[in-house]
Amino acid sequence: MSGKLYLEDGTVFEGKGFGKIGTSVGELVFNTSITGYQEILTDPSYAGQIINMTYPLIGNYGVNSFENESKQIFAKGFVVKCISEHPSNCASEESIDEMLKKMGVVGLYGVDTRSITRKIRKLGAMKCVITNEDLSIEELDNIIKSTTLTNEYVKQVSTKEVIHIPGEGPRVAVIDFGAKRNIIENLKHRNCDITIFPYNVSYNEVMSINPDGLFLSNGPGDPKAVPEAIETVKKLIQVLPTFGICLGHQIIALAVGGDTYKLKFGHRGGNHGVYDIERDKAYITSQNHGYAVDSKTVENKGMIITHINLNDNTVEGMKHKSLPVFSVQFHPEGAPGPIDTEYLFDKFMTIMNDDVNTKAI
């Protein structure tokens, strides 16, 4: 089965198809992780995107039923150089090809993923169409020109109902913009009593559970696409200890009156260096985002920059000068990638407990 990747600038990459037979349009991005393709594919933050993996061999250890980061794949396509048709791992339950077929995702292999990555780095993330159907270049050009990419991905990936996970620790209200499973697992591991709310939850709904803290999750797309969430968070951070990750970090920046902007090609992979200013220590982190916080705009609004990216000096973390509010752009839960910064979940526990004790006094 043949396949093609057609970019909006007219570039064509021809290879072989796998996964679902079909055609999809999305934003082309690249990920530099060597392992963790299953977690990457099931990360809701990839909604609407076509993922090009820079590591040449994908699928060699198969896929299992317990490492998914969500119940489905929200990405529009998957591009790799080589796929393993015979995975070897004691935990493997199916191949990457079978996974994509089952979850309805178009795949392409046998293409020069290095060349694709270099083009993205030069021109930026761009619209493209991926197909493993017998379509001509003219047909693909018509498809890409007639398709407008939506900016409402958070609405697609967020929970549609309130979910309660009992625990004996602090009550945490989680606003779900596309939360990865391992973020929730980190809160469960610390015995939190967790209530997960949809992205458009109101201030009164959150406060109705009398939470000890607020957690703002990761999620896809432009943070400015969820203005209702920004307005709610603006009120909540005034009264609740708050921890934000990725999109949650960006929403905090907008809630305090700061600004965000789109990166040329984003940060996606498990090997991004970040400097923790307060600890005077560098960490290798897992990242997946296409937008960043404008440092000057938040520093003028009461925020202190706590982490910076060692590759391009973008903001990777911040905290409020007077409120118990902090956030990071990277993923301390890993999945996939390093978990050296899981201490941030412990920091969240500490500020929640401190706030409870202060109120008790």
How many domains does the chain fold into?
2
Q: Are residues 16 and 161 in the same domain?
A: no
Residue 131 phi, psi dihedral angles, 5° rounding = -145, 150
Q: Are residues 282 and 249 in the same domain?
A: yes
Q: The domain containing residue 231 runs over which residues?
A: 154-360
Q: What is the CATH number of the domain that holds 37?
A: 3.50.30.20
pLDDT at 1: 87
Q: Is 192 a catalytic residue?
A: no
Q: Are residues 165 and 201 in the same domain?
A: yes
Q: Are residues 176 and 211 in the same domain?
A: yes
Q: Are residues 216 and 355 in the same domain?
A: yes
Catalytic choice (27, 246, 267, 307): 246
Q: What is the CATH number of the domain that holds 181?
A: 3.40.50.880
Q: Are residues 120 and 174 in the same domain?
A: no
Q: Are residues 229 and 255 in the same domain?
A: yes
The last residue of one of the domains, among 149, 183, 217, is 149
Expressed in angstroms, the distance from the first to the final Cα of the chain is 69
The last residue of one of the domains, among 95, 117, 149, is 149
pTM: 0.96
Nearest Cα to Cα of residue 334 among 39, 25, 24: 39
Q: Are residues 209 and 332 in the same domain?
A: yes
Cα–chain center distance at 354: 30
One digit per residue, the tens of pLDDT, for the chain of length 361 reads 899 999 999 999 999 999 999 999 999 999 999 999 999 999 999 999 999 999 999 999 999 999 999 999 999 999 999 999 899 999 999 999 999 999 999 999 999 999 999 999 999 999 999 999 999 999 999 999 999 999 899 999 999 999 999 999 999 999 999 999 999 999 999 999 999 999 999 999 999 999 999 999 999 999 999 999 999 999 999 999 999 999 999 999 999 999 999 999 999 999 999 999 999 999 999 999 999 999 999 999 999 999 999 999 999 999 999 999 999 999 999 999 999 999 999 999 999 998 756 564 4
In whole angstroms, give the CA distance from residue 52 to residue 295: 29
In whole angstroms, give the CA distance from residue 320 to residue 257: 12
Q: Is 307 a catalytic residue?
A: no
The last residue of one of the domains, among 126, 149, 172, is 149
Residue given tokens 């990555």 in the structure block: 117
Q: Is 128 a catalytic residue?
A: no
Q: Are residues 265 and 336 in the same domain?
A: yes
Helix (H, G, I), strand (E, B), or coil: what is residue 323?
coil
